[in-house]
Amino acid sequence: MNSARRAFAKALADIDVVIEVTDARLPGASSNPMIEELRRFRNRPCLKLLNKADLADPPVTREWIAHYSAQPGVRAVAISAKHPADVGRIPALAQQLAPHRSGAEKPLRMILAGIPNTGKSTLMNALIKRRVAKVGDEPAVTKSQQTLDLGPGMTLTDTPGLMWPKIEHDADGFMLAASHAIGRNAVIDEEVAAHLGAILLARYPALIEARYRIDVAGLDGESLLERIAQRRGCMRKGGEIDLEKAANVFLTDYRTGSLGHITLERPGERL
């Protein structure tokens, strides 16, 4: 954490625009306050990307964009790093934040930062249109710093070191784990799935009913997992309910977008 902080602070000295990648399904929990703190200290503008917008709930994404764009020095946009048209907008948006930097003499120097699994490698690959980084579903595959030419008058540096978020609230930890920003071994799937269940029962009960063809009245996170286990035949030998399997079914459905467009938090709630 400290070495990542030092490396990022050092790199910022020669950077014009910070591009922070967050997960549009949990923009607050997937932001690293350290990035915000250091870029403000250095007075660098930030292009805040709410990535994976294809999985998030569009009206809530718009609330987050308004929320972030009202902050000084921040421009927020929703993208999907998997959609070339979205990625193609990024250089021009970054340029608008540092209009004094352009051309070969004074190239626009950008840095890409964000917590693991928000889609930085995917975005980087799309930006340079060739694979330079391993894209994987286990967090933190990008480990070393590199600066790449993005064409005439633009460079992009990727985040030096790992940028794990400092998790101050348990709720953030569960949202991050559900969205796979925390490695598989770090948390217990059943517990994470039960927390995710509680959030979705409160926010998106109709999506759960439609996916599993169940009535959600009276259910909480744990009993939802039991119902999913029954519906999906998640049983151990001897007929006992396999909650671990049900948790995996549920988490995979959420992570792949099979449940529908979902955002786990709204801006006002973080206050």
Place of tokens 């101050």: 168
Query: Closest approach of Cβ 111 to ligand G4P, in Å?
Result: 14
CB-count exposure of residue 240 (10 Å: 0-12, 13-18, 19+): exposed
Residue 121 contacts ligand G4P per CB under 6 A: yes
User: Interface with ligand G4P includes 120 (CB under 6 A)?
Assistant: yes
- Name the residue nearer to ligand G4P (CB basis): 127 or 243: 127
Alpha carbon of residue 202 to chain centroid: 21
Least distance to ligand G4P from the beta carbon of 6, Å?
20
Q: Name, in order, each residue with C-beta under 8 angstroms of 14's C-beta and a sequence gap of 6 or more.
A: 109
Kindly state the number of chain residues that form the binding site for ligand G4P, as judged by CB under 6 A.
21
User: Please, are residues 167 and 173 in contact by the beta-carbon 8 Å criterion?
Assistant: yes
Q: Smallest gap, in angstroms, from Cβ of residue 168 to ligand G4P?
A: 21
Q: Is the Cβ of residue 96 or residue 252 nearer to ligand G4P in the bound state?
A: 252
Q: Which of 30, 32, 95, 142 binds ligand G4P (CB under 6 A)?
A: 142
Q: Does 4 bind ligand G4P (CB under 6 A)?
A: no
119 binds ligand G4P per the rule CB under 6 A: yes
Cβ closer to ligand G4P: 76 or 98? 76
Give me the least distance between CB of 222 and ligand G4P, in Å please.
27
Which 37-96 positions form the footprint of ligand G4P (CB under 6 A)? Answer: 51-52, 54-55, 80-82
Q: Give me the least distance between CB of 232 and ligand G4P, in Å please.
A: 21
**Residue 136 within binding range of ligand G4P, rule CB under 6 A:** yes
Candidate segments 58-66, 111-119, 183-191, 205-213, binder of ligand G4P by CB under 6 A: 111-119
Interface with ligand G4P includes 222 (CB under 6 A)?
no
**91 vs 114 by CB, closer to ligand G4P:** 114
- Rounded to whole angstroms, the Cα distance separating 136 from 92 reads 28
Task: Identify the bridge partners of residue 19 per DSSP, sorted by sequence position.
Answer: 47, 112
Q: Which residue, 124 or 247, has its beta carbon nearer to ligand G4P?
A: 124
Residues that bind ligand G4P (CB under 6 A): 51-52, 54-55, 80-82, 114, 116-122, 135-137, 139, 141-142
